[in-house]
Chains A and B, each alone.
Chain A
Amino acid sequence: MANEKNILQSLNRAIVEGRPEEAPRLAEEALAAGNQPLEIIEKACVPAIEEVGRLWEAGDYFLPELIAGAEAMKSAMNVLQQALKSSGQSLKSCGRVVIGTVEGDIHDIGKNLVASMLRASGFEVIDLGADVKAEKFVETAAREKADIIAMSALLTTTMLNQKKVIALLQEKGLRENFKIMVGGAPVTEKFAREIGADGYGQSAVQAVAVARSLLAGGGGGR
């Protein structure tokens, strides 16, 4: 009993302290000790990633720690999801997000941060990278049954491509299937409204709040 608790505790620490090379082994040990995958996720992993987020917001953790925490979470979840699948169970994620930087634009640092934060907060994230064509956003979102399409743009000239994606969704009659959020330095809440996006976020931390609020049925952005 004490040992079992210790394993969950160790897994928790491995995520909080950002040790992605150890986390999968600890997840496997936790399974081997007879814990249910869901229980491990709820008792060890989720509280761990929440603590990472708290430490980041408090300014104790900087980006390298935040990213390491998210990576450790991901590597543990790979093991646990596999186990869930073979036991016929499934995990309900916070939501599935297709994210990318729009066509013509290669700025991807902000987008990567948003993706990491969403991941770390329990969203499933499909990252299409940078310079992503409108068709690719739409196809991937439709195929993966995404909840949210998130687009980043850093150039005045490429902001328009966010609108292009929304137009393409409308054209295909798919607009209502997804919530859309946009961001990037030149993007403003006003612009987001004008192009008919559902949410706008100024930072990666805000992106998470916006995504949550969109899926909870609220509006997004401030």
Chain B
Amino acid sequence: MSEALRPKVEFLTHQAVEQIIDEAFELLEKIGLFVENEEALQLLEEAGQRIDRRHGRVFISRELVEKCLRLCPSEIKLYDLDGHREYLVGRDEIHFDPGSAAIKILDSETLREREAKTSDLVALYKLVETLENIDFQSTALVSADVSREIADIYRLYLGLLISRKPFVTGIFRVESLRPMLDLLVAVRGDEESLTEKPLAIFDACPSPPLKWSRLTAQSLIDCSRLGVPSELIPMGLTGATSPVTLAGTLVQQMAESFGGMVICQLARPGAPVIFGCSPASFDMRKGTTPMGAVETMMIDCACAQIAKFLNLPTHAYMGLSDSKLVDGQSGIETAMGATLAALAGINMISGPGMLDFESTQSLEKLVVDNDLCGLALRLVRGIALREKPLALHLFEQVGPDFNFLVLPHTRKWYRQEHYFSSVLDRDVYDTWLALGAPDIFGRAKKEVQRRLSLYERPELGRNKAGELRKIIENYARACGVESLPELPEI
């Protein structure tokens, strides 16, 4: 059978793509990249780049960027906790993961944002394990009952105890990087096994415009050396930290990503990098950073288009909302984002569960978004030509009553051809009334409980618990943190 046409969306002409890339090269050559990290500066100096030491500014040649681009793998593979299941990050494969590092959670009862507790994070991890359209976990929530010094690493520690899916994570302070990598090495057994089968991706955001900070540059270097993939996530805010035009922001963001990519490749040729994107169409009226704005999504898709042109794995922050509730707005923005991202063929799509400009996670929204991601995944599978002929033979089989329900063909294909949601309402009116006339939030709330009861803890997480505990305790002590919160029942 011939393959289904994959529906696609593109925002840039071929000529526009090349113009943006060219201008990004020029930006790095003429204005340069600000690098606040000594080790990164040294790597760049050794590679023969001109450096203005006083301002920490490096002028990177087009030649070096092009050379490094050729070293980047076009595909990356991630593996689950057991190292069995393989996920391809590249081509037009798409994977969703929850929006990361929320500082609050939407309380299911009061419908108000509040600080998260460790038990909330445990519930979130367990829930995501059960969401079939969300392939990866992310360290999605920061719990406030943990000492703030170890907030970033604690999320990963807890996650590795609970989940089987690979992780998208990142650091808040330089000191955390080594122990976080240690946690991952502990799970795999040794460094070589982690290099061979990456379990986590580290997000690193350049500081717009055109800067890689001490923190994020270190993350790039250390992860690259270990073969841990880095996700480069430029976040221009149009008109605030990048040019106000969408194309102008694209130029800046490409230059920032090129700069980060060069640091990775100098640290270790062939280092896995993902070209990510998390801009916002900065709201000039409210002074906020809307992730659900249509222009934000246009920049995201265009960024991915350019990265694909260069044959690189892609990422974007899409499928999230600025609403404060799981309501109409959150549905609109999330569905639009998830759909566009899927149509753009973006490999890693971070966003589900997130509300309020990347501030707040919601369990109910995760469940709703799981369906929205399911719809998007279905959409890009396109219209398959399953059998030949397509229909003619059926009319010969079907009886005089033309009842397709009885055909084996129907049973054979209906689950593959059609997506079945878990919380979108498809009941008849009276059934819906009898259920108490629930809205989507009400249905999602129930579904969260049902799914949590399905969760099963992976054996490996249980076996490694002691070893992981030692790493986090040692690190906590080094930070002057004496006690860790009691672990809730997993």
A129 at the B interface (CB under 8 A): no
Minimum CB–CB distance from B175 to chain A (whole Å) comes to: 10
Say whether chain A's binding surface is mostly helix, strand, loop, or mixed. Answer: loop
- Please indicate the chain A residues that have their CB under 8 angstroms from the CB of B151 in the complex: 156-157
- Establish whether residues A64 and B285, one from each chain, have CB atoms under 8 Å apart when the complex forms: no
- Establish whether residues B149 and A186, one from each chain, have CB atoms under 8 Å apart when the complex forms: no
In which size bucket is the chain B interface? 20 to 34
- Establish whether residues A106 and B213, one from each chain, have CB atoms under 8 Å apart when the complex forms: yes
A63's partner among B144, B152, B241, B284 (CB-CB below 8 A) is B284
Minimum CB–CB distance from A109 to chain B (whole Å) comes to: 6
A109's partner among B148, B173, B240, B284 (CB-CB below 8 A) is B240
Minimum CB–CB distance from A9 to chain B (whole Å) comes to: 28
Q: How far is the CA of A196 from the CA of B115 in the complex (A)?
A: 19
A204 at the B interface (CB under 8 A): yes
- Please indicate the chain B residues that have their CB under 8 angstroms from the CB of A204 in the complex: 287
B87 at the A interface (CB under 8 A): no
- Establish whether residues A109 and B237, one from each chain, have CB atoms under 8 Å apart when the complex forms: yes
B142 at the A interface (CB under 8 A): yes
Say whether chain B's binding surface is mostly helix, strand, loop, or mixed. Answer: loop
- Establish whether residues B173 and A104, one from each chain, have CB atoms under 8 Å apart when the complex forms: yes
A33 at the B interface (CB under 8 A): no
B239 at the A interface (CB under 8 A): yes
- Establish whether residues B359 and A106, one from each chain, have CB atoms under 8 Å apart when the complex forms: no
A185 at the B interface (CB under 8 A): yes
Taking Cβ atoms with an 8 Å cutoff, the residues of B that contact A are 103, 115, 142, 144, 148-149, 151-152, 172-173, 207, 213, 237, 239-241, 284-285, 287, 359
What total of A-B pairs shows CB separation below 8 Å?
A: 41
Closest chain B residue, CB of each to CB of A106: B207
A-B contact pairs, 21 of them (CB 8 A): A59-B285, A62-B285, A64-B239, A64-B284, A104-B173, A106-B207, A109-B237, A109-B240, A109-B241, A156-B144, A156-B172, A157-B149, A157-B151, A157-B172, A157-B173, A158-B172, A160-B149, A185-B103, A185-B359, A186-B103, A188-B115
Closest chain A residue, CB of each to CB of B244: A64
- Establish whether residues A157 and B148, one from each chain, have CB atoms under 8 Å apart when the complex forms: yes
Minimum CB–CB distance from A118 to chain B (whole Å) comes to: 14
10 nearest A-B pairs in the assembled complex, by CB-CB distance: A62-B284, A186-B103, A157-B172, A63-B284, A156-B151, A62-B285, A156-B142, A160-B148, A113-B287, A156-B148
A115 at the B interface (CB under 8 A): no
